[in-house]
Amino acid sequence: MFSTTTLFKKVICSGGPSCRLPNCIFSHDFQSTDAELHNIGIVDRSDEFEGRRDVKRRKLNNTGDTSVASQVKDAQALSSDVVLTELSLDNKLPTSNRATTTTTQEPNRSKNELQSAKRDVSPPPIQDAKRAKMSQPNSKAPTSDKPITLNPKLLAHDPAGHDKRRQYLIVFFEKLQRLNTLVANSTNADHKQFVLTDNELKLFALNEEEAFARDKPSVYTNLIKQKIATYAKMSLADWLKERRASLQPNEPEKPKIEDPYPPYNSKLTPEEELLILPHLAAHQAPLVHHGYVPIQIPEAEIKKAKDGVAAAEHREVCDLCGSRFQAYPERQPDGTLTTGGRCTHHPVKAFYPQRESANKSKSHRRKIHACCGEPEGTKGCKTHEQHVFVVKQPARLASILPFAETPTTNESDNVDGVLKPSALAFDCEMGYTTNGLELIRLTATEWQSGKELLDVFVQPQGFILDFNSRFSGVRPEDFDNAELYKGVTPPPLSIGDSKNKQLRKAPSPAAARTLLTSLLTPSTPVIGHALDNDLRAVRLIHPTIVDTILLFPHHRGLPARRALRDLASEHLGWKIQTGGRAGASSNSNDGGHDSKEDANAAGELVRVAIEREWRQMSQRGWEMKEGKLIPPPGKEIPKEPTS
């Protein structure tokens, strides 16, 4: 049916004489095979074994031991056959191997005796003898001095064809020979160590050519030509420099330190972003009920707030545990500043845990505290030395420190020769005092670049009850050791290196506000997250604000707000507010926020919102031509938002 390939013509057919295949591909020359087996001492005894199998299958009777004796004789005969076979194999061994055998054939020995039992040492197999000889310690692998041919290595995807590659390789090798000859002819004895043999030179050329063909096949021709031209013009000094570099051990590459806060990759240029930024400025008048202060507080409201505090004898509600206590405006003779003893509270607000699907209809959801897992209403798990409070009413805040508007006298573009930023991002950190939650650190950065413009500690007006280090990142030791700064323009950024900078300290919140407003004009966009809190802390009324809580609102709307940490992670991939003690390394893990980090995060989020806003504006017909924003018919470019 199929034509034979004669590949198995020397392999004996396993079917033997009983094979009935008409065109068997195996050999049926059984006579020559038997003759070969007899020549090496192996005899076919299949018939005898068949007879012995019948004997083994015979049942033993209880009357005599004749069957047992016959089986013993058969076993002895079988053993003698094996011995004869081994002896015939010994005759085939080389003389040196046969001489090591201690077995001798004694005449007149009975064939029924098991000769292997009389043998002192059994002869080792031929294969084991070869392995033992190869494993001798004195044996050395022969080193091949066969010359290497300039034949390019075969590749699955050849970039230029084998013949073309060989032509390039020959020319490449000639250029290497020239350089190697220069080294060999050099009179400097130190250069002799860089002389390569002909095989080493060819191997170098083969590896270089293969790397070009395998790694960059699309530009293989250009690369090999450039390499040939380079070596054709290379001087002896350059070649020696390259050889020295190749002999030096490769140093492990230092791991690249990735920027944990990479800037947002916007499709707009910085100039285009500045043109769109005014469209994101908030109108603060509708936001008065949510804590924004767009205008000055009337004096009547301020007086009313003062009278109310005096009538209540400075009794407050603790911001941590909810207890009522009294906060003295001055330290008492016994040194106390508050009443009510220690404050025991839960540091983390209660939340509703996720319901299990099996108990949705049966269980009653109850808030629990993540800090300890206890339900809402239970005794706190953390203790403070004294109670603290927060003042949120603008009128009462104004009674402590009046609000101030951004001065219009700062319309010049520079401050003491330094250009004012086109937009500014800032953030404040607060601590608990006898006046409530007051400003203790102020940071401002240049929008887009993130360059630090201002970073100072601030001495509050009231006595400090708690630095709120868990959130502010300000530590008492850093605050107390800070140098007092009384200037009216931003101080130098730091004392010492950037990793362990020591901040200066403004003498009051009003002085810190002066430092901030020296960088602003009323039309300068001020960027931040929850700017109502920061502007109230500084007591500043600024007409142009861009707040990220308004650009990325909570799905429930105000007063609910999304956390800056979540927004930065979602839109920027940043992990912020994981540490960053003020005045310490940014890599420290001391807990607390970093106001510079928060300010820059808000600035980058605004860039995300600008790109989103431009997509919507372009759909409405806005255009960008020659660095100018062109509105659609009937629209005007907003200059600055009104309060």
pLDDT for res 13: 85
Residues 355 and 486 in one domain: no
Domain that holds residue 129: 40-57+67-133
Beta strands in 312-467 (DSSP E): 315-317, 324-326, 343-345, 350-351, 368-369, 382-384, 404-405, 414-415, 418-419, 424-433, 436-446, 452-458, 464-466
Indicate the pLDDT class of residue 11, thresholds 50, 70 and 90: confident
The DSSP line for 452-485 is: EEEEEEE--SSPEEE--HHHH---HHHHHHSEE-
pLDDT for res 408: 86
Total domains in the fold of the chain: 4
CA distance 79 to 37: 19
Residues 284 and 364 in one domain: no
Residue positions counted in the chain: 643
Q: How far is CA 151 from the centre of its chain?
A: 43
Cα R_g (the chain), whole angstroms: 47
Residue 605 has pLDDT above 60, yes or no: yes
pLDDT for res 492: 75
pLDDT for res 560: 93
Strand partners, 483: 504
Residues 80 and 53 in one domain: yes
Does 415 reside within a domain? Answer: yes
pLDDT for res 121: 53
User: Whole-angstrom distance between the N-terminal and C-terminal Cα of the chain?
Assistant: 99
245 compared with 599, residue with greater pLDDT = 599
Residues 281 and 414 in one domain: yes
Strand partners, 425: 445, 527
pLDDT for res 336: 92
Interval 246-264: pLDDT, tens:
877 665 666 666 677 888 9
Residues 192 and 92 in one domain: no
Residues 127 and 178 in one domain: no
Of the candidate ranges 1-10, 264-273, 630-639, the one whose mean pLDDT is the lowest: 1-10
Q: What are the residues whose beta carbons fall under 8 Å from the beta carbon of 500, sequence distance 6 or more?
A: 583, 584, 585
Could you tell me which of 309, 351, 302 has the C-alpha nearest to residue 326?
309
pLDDT for res 470: 86
Calculate mean pLDDT across residues 374-394: 91
Residues 409 and 466 in one domain: yes
Of the CA atoms within 13 Å of residue 175, those in its CB half-sphere come to 20
Does 99 reside within a domain? Answer: yes
pLDDT for res 414: 62
3-state secondary structure string across 180-234: HHHHHCCCCHHHHHHCCCHHHHHHHHHHHHHHHHHHCHHHHHHHHHHHHHHHHHC
Computed from CA positions of residues 133, 134, 140, 143, in that sequence, does the dihedral angle turn out positive or negative? Answer: positive
81 compared with 538, residue with greater pLDDT = 538
pLDDT for res 179: 92
Identify the three-state secondary structure at position 392.
coil
In the numeric block, the tokens 């005899």 are attached to: 43
Residues 415 and 441 in one domain: yes
pLDDT for res 415: 55
Contact present, 448 and 423 (Cβ < 8 Å): yes
Does 637 reside within a domain? Answer: no
pLDDT for res 578: 74
Does 147 reside within a domain? Answer: no
Residue 101 has pLDDT above 50, yes or no: no
Question: What Cα–Cα distance (Å) separates residue 120 from each residue in 110, 129, 226, 284?
Answer: 18, 18, 74, 110
Interval 320-378: pLDDT, tens:
999 999 999 899 999 899 999 999 999 888 888 876 655 555 556 788 888 888 888 88
Indicate the pLDDT class of residue 49, thresholds 50, 70 and 90: very low
Calculate mean pLDDT across residues 94-114: 45
Residue 411 has pLDDT above 70, yes or no: no
pLDDT for res 131: 44
Does 331 reside within a domain? Answer: yes
pLDDT for res 529: 96
Residues 606 and 493 in one domain: yes
Residues 373 and 444 in one domain: no
At residue 27, φ and ψ (nearest 5 deg) are -80, 140
Does 607 reside within a domain? Answer: yes
106 compared with 601, residue with greater pLDDT = 601
Boundary residue ending a domain (384, 419, 450)? 384
Q: Which CATH number covers residue 532? A: 3.30.420.10
At residue 368, φ and ψ (nearest 5 deg) are -130, 160
Residue 430 has pLDDT above 50, yes or no: yes
Residue 473 has pLDDT above 80, yes or no: yes
Interval 152-190: pLDDT, tens:
988 888 898 889 999 999 999 999 999 999 999 988 888
Contact present, 403 and 542 (Cβ < 8 Å): no
Of the candidate ranges 143-157, 518-532, 602-616, the one whose mean pLDDT is the lowest: 143-157
CA distance 337 to 608: 46
Strand partners, 324: 317
Share of the chain above pLDDT 70, in %: 72
Calculate mean pLDDT across residues 514-530: 94
CA distance 358 to 344: 36
Residue 88 has pLDDT above 50, yes or no: no
pLDDT for res 365: 72
CB count in 10 Å sphere of residue 476:
12
355 compared with 237, residue with greater pLDDT = 237
Q: Show contacts of 49-54: CB within 8 Å, 24+ apart.
A: 52/78
Of the candidate ranges 46-50, 99-103, 252-256, 292-296, the one whose mean pLDDT is the lowest: 99-103
Residues 487 and 557 in one domain: yes
Does 126 reside within a domain? Answer: yes
pLDDT for res 87: 42
Residues 98 and 217 in one domain: no
Indicate the pLDDT class of residue 400, thresholds 50, 70 and 90: very high
Does 567 reside within a domain? Answer: no
